[in-house]
Structure 1
Amino acid sequence: MVGDVEGRPEHIPGFEDLWRAVSPDTAFAAMGTGTYRKMTGPLVPYLVDCVAKVLSAHGVRAAEVDRLVLATSDAVLGLLGRDVAVEVMRAAGLTACVPAIVSLQQCCSSLEALRYGWGLLGADARNVVLVALDFTPDDRDRVKSFALFGDAVAGCLISRDHGDLTLAGTGLAADFSGMIGQDTFASRQAVARAALDQAFRQAGRVPGDVTKIFTSSLFAPIVSFNAMAAGQARELLHFQGPMTRYGHCGNADWLINLMDYTDKSGPERGALYLAQASAPGFFACALLEAR
Structure 2
Amino acid sequence: MGSFACVFGDLERSPEDIPGFAALWQAAAPDTAFDAMGCGTFRTMSGPVEKYVVESVRQTLEGHAVRPEDVTHLVLATSDACLRTLGRDCAVTVLDALGMTRCVPVVLSFQQCCSSLAALRYGWELFSDEDVRNVVLVSLDFTPDDGDRVKSFALFGDAVASCLISRDAGGPLRLASATVKVDHSGLMGRDSFVSRQKVAQAAFAKVFQESGERLDDVTRVFPTNLFQPVTLFNATIAGVPRDKLHFADTLRAYGHCGNSDWMINLVDHVEAVGMRTGEKYLAQASAPGFFACGLLVAT
- Shift of the alpha carbon at 1:179? 1.0
What is the TM-score when the length of structure 2 is the normalising length? Answer: 0.96
- CA shift at 1:268, angstroms? 1.6
2:194 partner amino acid: A
Q: Is the Cα contact below 8 Å between 1:107 and 1:278 reproduced in 2? A: yes
Match of 1:144 in 2: 151
The structure-2 alpha-carbon separation of the partners of 1:259 and 1:143, relative to structure 1 and needing over 3 Å to count, comes to: same
Q: Is the 8 A contact 1:7 1:37 kept in 2?
A: yes
Query: Which residue, 164, 189, 195 being the options, matches 1:157?
Result: 164
Q: Is the CA contact 1:12–1:139 (under 8 Å) kept in the aligned structure 2?
A: yes
Contiguous gaps of at least 5 residues in structure 1: none
Separation in 2, partners of 1:70, 1:171: 17
> 2:179 & 2:289 partners in 1: Cα distance?
14
What is the match of residue 219 of structure 1? 227
The question of 1:113 aligning with 2:113 is answered no
SS in 1 for 2:277: coil
Kindly state the Cα deviation for residue 93 of structure 1 after the two structures are TM-superposed. 0.7
2 CA distance for matches of 1:53 and 1:127?
Answer: 15
What are the within-5 Å matches in structure 2 for residues 135-214 of structure 1?
A: 135-161=142-168, 162-214=170-222
Cα contact 1:178–1:282 (8 A) shared by 2: yes
The CA deviation at 1:176 is: 1.4
Matched residues in 2 for 1:172 and 1:137: separation? Answer: 27
Partner of 1:282: 290
> CA RMSD, aligned part only?
0.8
Which consecutive aligned stretches of 4+ in structure 1 deviate over 3 angstroms post-superposition? none
For 1:171 and 1:192, the matched residues in 2 are separated by 11
Distance 2:212 2:179 in 1: 13
Match of 1:26 in 2: 32
Going from structure 1 to structure 2, the CA distance change for 1:284 and 1:124 (only over 3 Å counts) comes to farther
* Structure-to-structure mapping, 1:1-291, within 5 angstroms: 1-122=7-128, 123-161=130-168, 162-291=170-299
Distance in 1 separating the partners of 2:52 and 2:111: 23
Alignment TM-score, normalising by the size of structure 1: 0.99
Note the C-alpha offset of 1:124.
3.7
Distance in 2 separating the partners of 1:191 and 1:25: 30
Secondary structure, counterpart of 1:121 in structure 2: helix
Q: Is the 8 A contact 1:200 1:206 kept in 2?
A: yes
Tell me the CA shift for residue 26 of structure 1: 1.1
CA positional deviation for 1:82: 1.3
The 3-state SS of whatever aligns with 1:257 is: helix
Identity of aligned residues (%): 58
Could you tell me how far apart the structure 2 residues matched to 1:188 and 1:135 are? Answer: 26
Distance (whole Å) between structure 1 residues aligned to residue 270 and residue 206 of structure 2: 25
CA distance in 2, matches of 1:50, 1:207: 31
Gapped regions of structure 2 (runs ≥ 5): 1-6
Q: Distance in 2 between matches of 1:268 and 1:151?
A: 30
Residues of 2 paired with 1:171 and 1:77: CA distance?
22
**In 1, Cα distance between equivalents of 2:227 and 2:90:** 31
How far the C-alpha of 1:166 sits from its partner, in A, is 0.1
**Secondary structure at the counterpart of residue 295 of structure 2:** strand
Aligned residue identity for 2:260: A
Query: Are the counterparts in 1 of residues 186 and 290 from structure 2 also a CA contact under 8 Å?
Result: yes
Given that 2:121 and 2:179 are in contact with CA atoms closer than 8 Å, whether structure 1 keeps it comes out as: no
SS at match of 2:8: coil
Q: Which amino acid aligns with 2:100?
A: L
AA at the equivalent of 2:217: D
CA distance in 2, matches of 1:137, 1:268: 39
- Kindly tell me the number of residue pairs found equivalent between the two proteins: 291
Compute the displacement of 1:81 (Å).
Answer: 1.3
In structure 1, the residue corresponding to 2:19 is in which secondary structure? coil
The AA in structure 2 aligned to 1:126 is R
